[in-house]
Amino acid sequence: MPDPSKRMLELLSLLRDGRAWQAAELAEALRTSPRTLRRDIERLRDLGYPVSSVRGPGGGYQLLAGRAMPPLVLTDDEAVATVVGLRFAALSRADGSAAAADSALRKLGQALPPRLRHRIEALSASTEAVSRVARPLDLRTVQLLGTAAHAHQDVRFHYTSRAGRGTERRVQPYRQVLFGGHWYLLGWDADRQDWRTFRLDRIDRLAVPGTTFIPHEPPSGEAVVFPQGSPCHGVVRFAAPLAHVSGRLMAQAGSLEAIDDDTCRYVTAADSWEWLAVMLAAVGVPYTIEGPLELVACSRQLAERIAAATRQSPGVDSSESRRRS
């Protein structure tokens, strides 16, 4: 390996697995001499990497985890942001890059000092993804909610609804979920005494007063199943077998379950009722919207627009169009 830079990166990659390497074994893996290996180890130490060594014939090297930041000279917030970004990439990608993100996440985690590990563990334990595209989000909000959910701490914040109405909320956070390009908080609303979902980009003036709570049993035992009554929760009954509908449904996420041999029910969260109305119609089988009213209204508007477009199309007899409708 003639290129010293590549050799150094390979050496660092090998040491990052946490094991203690015999000097001869490490030199063989790098295809270099013991003397060059010793020089490379010293260069790593000069860069701030804590590499321990044991002298003698059986001596070796080991990278000590958690005693120094990487040589990028990141602040604590920057280091957490990097880990959060890798965590989101690992969660939200279905291709080979997810494995690369997981690998990078493990390596970076080994170099984090203990003071940051609690924040990272809290975020990892309280986030999941059921979608692949995230829109910009305030990292501080994700961090505070993740830590509060992990530690069972109450939170308070100002929330702006879809209609633009602002309210003050007291919530017991449970899980943050990526869906449809947005991050949502699933939590127990202390004032409404029920599970609610909140879009994170509509949360501001977030505060953690320091009080704790005993967690409620989550709805259906899964964070990705949004609770009944949620403002972004739609329920549809299809008059067709589950196998037939599942092959035509193009939603990013949701729960599709058989009611009987001839009908099934679809439960999903949707940031856009207009998009969901179009997607449901595209399935091509009869269906009934069980809720909410917003989805009903959007579906009616869609039907009216389609009917109007058909009536106004050239070459279509209006009486024949009315008879068919």
Total domains in the fold of the chain: 3
Distance CA 81, CA 237 (A): 42
Whether 26 is in a domain gets the answer: yes
Any idea what the CATH number is for the domain that residue 281 is in?
3.30.70
Tell me how far CA of residue 56 lies from CA of 18, 34, 64, 216, in angstroms.
21, 13, 20, 58
What average pLDDT does this structure show over 67-83? 63
Percent of the chain residues topping a pLDDT of 90? 18
- DSSP three-state, residue 218: coil
Looking up tokens 């599942």 gives 246
Residues 141, 196 within the same domain: yes
Give the residue with greater pLDDT, 302 vs 232.
Answer: 302
Strand runs labelled E in 190-278: 194-199, 203-207, 233-238, 255-258, 264-269
Give the residue with greater pLDDT, 232 vs 72.
Answer: 232
What is residue 100's predicted lDDT score, i.e. its pLDDT?
Answer: 64
How many CB atoms neighbour CB 68 within 10 A? Answer: 15
Residues 206, 159 within the same domain: yes
The residues near 220 (Cβ < 8 Å, ≥ 6 apart) are none
Residues 261, 304 within the same domain: yes
**Structural domain ending residue among the three candidates 220, 246, 265:** 220
Whether 178 is in a domain gets the answer: yes
Whether 20 is in a domain gets the answer: yes
Distance CA 117, CA 110 (A): 10
Q: Which residue, 183, 181, 182, 156, is CA-closest to 167?
A: 156
Residues 190, 263 within the same domain: no
Distance CA 66, CA 115 (A): 9
Distance CA 129, CA 89 (A): 10
What average pLDDT does this structure show over 98-108? 68
Distance CA 169, CA 195 (A): 12
Residues 274, 303 within the same domain: yes
Assess whether pLDDT exceeds 80 at residue 31.
yes
Distance CA 27, CA 223 (A): 48
How many CB atoms neighbour CB 225 within 10 A? Answer: 20
Residues 278, 207 within the same domain: no
Mean pLDDT of the chain: 77
Per residue in 112-122, pLDDT (tens digit) is 777 777 777 77
What is residue 94's predicted lDDT score, i.e. its pLDDT?
Answer: 45
What average pLDDT does this structure show over 4-33? 81
Per residue in 258-296, pLDDT (tens digit) is 899 899 988 887 667 888 888 888 889 999 998 888 889
**Structural domain ending residue among the three candidates 220, 242, 272:** 220
Residues 275, 203 within the same domain: no
Per residue in 212-252, pLDDT (tens digit) is 999 988 765 444 445 444 455 788 999 999 888 888 876 54
- DSSP three-state, residue 55: coil
Give the residue with greater pLDDT, 36 vs 103.
Answer: 36
Per residue in 161-185, pLDDT (tens digit) is 877 889 999 999 998 876 656 788 8
What is residue 4's predicted lDDT score, i.e. its pLDDT?
Answer: 74
Confidence tier at 75 by pLDDT (50, 70, 90): low
What is residue 134's predicted lDDT score, i.e. its pLDDT?
Answer: 47
- DSSP three-state, residue 156: strand
**Structural domain ending residue among the three candidates 29, 45, 63:** 63
**∠185-190-195 over CA atoms, to 5°?**
45
Any idea what the CATH number is for the domain that residue 183 is in?
2.30.30
Residues 202, 241 within the same domain: no
Domain region containing 38: 4-63
Any idea what the CATH number is for the domain that residue 24 is in?
1.10.10.10
Q: Is 152 exposed, middle or buried (0-12, 13-18, 19+ CB in 10 A)?
A: middle
Whether 31 is in a domain gets the answer: yes
Confidence tier at 205 by pLDDT (50, 70, 90): very high
String of DSSP letters for 261-321: SS-EEEEEE-S-HHHHHHHHHHT-S-EEEEE-HHHHHHHHHHHHHHHHHHHTSTT--HHHH
Residues 189, 245 within the same domain: no
The residues near 177 (Cβ < 8 Å, ≥ 6 apart) are 127, 128, 129, 130, 183, 184, 185, 186, 197, 223, 224
Q: How many CA atoms lie within 13 A of 133 on its CB side?
A: 3
Whether 90 is in a domain gets the answer: no
Looking up tokens 């029910």 gives 265
Residues 246, 179 within the same domain: no
Confidence tier at 71 by pLDDT (50, 70, 90): low
Whether 140 is in a domain gets the answer: yes
- Among 84-88, 133-137, 184-188, 290-294, whose mean pLDDT is lowest? 133-137
Assess whether pLDDT exceeds 50 at residue 95.
no
Residues 132, 210 within the same domain: yes
